[in-house]
Amino acid sequence: MDDRTAILREWFDRVDSGRTGSITAPQLKRALAVGNLNIAVTVVEQMIRMYDFDRNGTMSFEEFVALNNFLLKVQHAFSDLERGQGYLSSHDVSEALVKMGFSLDTPSFYSLCESFDQKKNGRLRLDDFISLCIFVQSARNLFDSFDTAKQGRVALDFNQFVYCTANCRI
């Protein structure tokens, strides 16, 4: 076990207060709040769904390590661009998303930014930005699961559309 894994393990065991070997959405939400990240429980649930490989609704240590890798990537993108301000402007968000491999057109980018700009002041703090990235990544995963021919385009019937929107609603 390397140092980073050992630190994560310690953190995980502290959050897993009942020593069940897995952590739940409310436990993860509380743990993130200790680190000053105020993330809506629906977003935390989405985080868990993204990496819940065995689909049991909770996060094992291995699943948590995968989530943590994603969160580190998001945090790095944020700190690269926040320039000591503590927030990203929508221009910075766009740049960060491109760096992370998401290039969106203007209408989808702005509606995305607006929905995650909690204070509606054009400034996305780290928790807003994490929520936004969780949404974009899960939308990407869901899209890819339908785009089996990898053509960048999918055709959905109404049931599939409802399935998608229900899955991405956070």
The footprint of Ca ion (CB under 5 A) covers 52, 54, 56
Least separation in angstroms between CB 57 and Ca ion: 7
Compute the least distance from the CB of residue 28 to Ca ion, in Å. 12
Structure tokens at 30: 């509380």
Q: Which is nearer to Ca ion, 52 or 82 (CB)?
A: 52
Give the nearer residue to Ca ion in terms of CB position, either 22 or 94. 22
Query: Which of residues 21 and 86 has its CB atom nearest to Ca ion in the complex?
Result: 21
Query: How near is the Cβ of 52 to Ca ion at its closest, in Å?
Result: 4
CA 41 – CA 44 distance, rounded (Å): 5
How far, in Å, CA of 71 to CA of 167, rounded? Answer: 20
Q: Are 120 and 156 in contact (CB under 8 A)?
A: no
- Least spacing, CB of residue 31 vs Ca ion, in Å: 16
For the chain, count helices (H), then strands (E).
Answer: 8, 2
Q: Which C-beta is closer to Ca ion: that of 57 or that of 86?
A: 57
Q: From CA 15, how far away is CA 160, in angstroms rounded? A: 36
